[in-house]
Amino acid sequence: MSRIPVLTTVGEVRKTVGEWRCSGRTIGFVPTMGALHPGHLSLVSLALEHADRVIVSIYVNPAQFGPDEDYESYPRTFRDDIDKLEKVGANAVFLPEKDTIYPEGFSTSVHVCNLTDTLCGKYRPGHFDGVATVCAVFFGIVQPDIAVFGKKDAQQLAVIKRMVLDQRFAIKIIGADIYRERDGLAMSSRNRYLRPIERMQATALFRGLSRAAELACKGERDAGILCEVARQVIEKSPLAVIQYLEIVDQDTMKSVEKLDGPGLLAVSAYFGKTRLIDNIVLDPDASYKED
Ligand code: AMP
């Protein structure tokens, strides 16, 4: 039996969060789609550093999946997730039914302009509308002081920051560093789809990104050259099929041709049927250290 409260209705969340707030606690929120791995749990730990009480949602949001994407087959491991959240010290889990978030008659869609046209937005039409809409709903229900999002989904983080700014939500958005496997692969709920050979070759993503970051630290500022170097390293893995590889501004997601400050090198690639994303910040002003 789990001791962490598992809340399923809006009323239960409001009551629990309301009690915390009445006793003077600050509230942290971590939205997830479950199938939790240590990367997710690092977000919860970070939230606990910034808030007195932390609530984590587990909700596979239908609105952010395209018609040919993996909504139906997305891993659902709720029991296991709740145990992990209890161990890491989260104070409550919000596990809503599909209709609790999108009740009959739900008619709102949040569209964040401009920064959703590039990178993943280009290949997943409507994805960020689904993300922004569900986050706006969650923010309205939970009304947290802070919310933590992973830098692995850098475009998502930028979209949420922009939405919060534009809508004047009184929430501080905190970005958590990318949590990686020992061999560099960014942790993802979708890594479990990879066949062993694909899993091995997927490490090329971080190798490619790191090579570009090294060159940037040594002074290379030409985005075309940096992307080409990363591409060559990644494509040494024959199973890698790159969808995009681009350097963008971290806040606007606009393409950058020359680095005159930190830029985000972002990549999406297929390994077999599995689409992975990763990114690294290139900082030409950071000093490069040989190991
Ligand atoms: P998801 O369950 O995939 O929607 O992810 C929930 C949150 O966890 C998002 O803010 C993700 O960016 C974040 N996240 C997922 N994987 C990682 C990772 N490897 N490192 C850091 N954050 C992550």
Q: What confidence tens digit (pLDDT) does each residue in 212-230 have? A: 999 999 999 999 999 999 9
Residue 183 lies in a domain: no
In 3D, which of 52, 32, 67 has the Cα closest to residue 187?
32
Residue 251 belongs to a domain with what CATH number?
Answer: 3.30.1300.10
Spans in the chain with pLDDT lower than 70 = 1-2, 287-291
pLDDT at 103: 97
Cβ 234 under 6 angstroms from ligand 1:
no
CB 209 within 8 A of CB 184: no
Question: What total number of domains does the chain contain?
Answer: 2
Q: What is the pLDDT of residues 97-120, one digit of tens each?
A: 999 999 999 999 999 999 999 999
pLDDT at 285: 83
Residue 288 lies in a domain: no
Do 219 and 76 have their domain in common?
no
Q: Give this prediction's pTM.
A: 0.97
Residue 184 lies in a domain: no
Cβ 43 under 6 angstroms from ligand 1:
yes
Containing structural domain, residue 277: 193-282
Do 52 and 138 have their domain in common?
yes
CB 242 within 8 A of CB 268: yes
Pocket probe for ligand 1: among 152, 156, 190, 209, the residue whose CB has the most ligand atoms within 8 Å is: 152
In 3D, which of 189, 68, 57 has the Cα closest to residue 125?
68
Q: Which of 37, 40, 50, 127 is catalytic?
A: 40
Give yes or no: 50 in active site. Answer: no
pLDDT at 2: 58
pLDDT at 287: 64
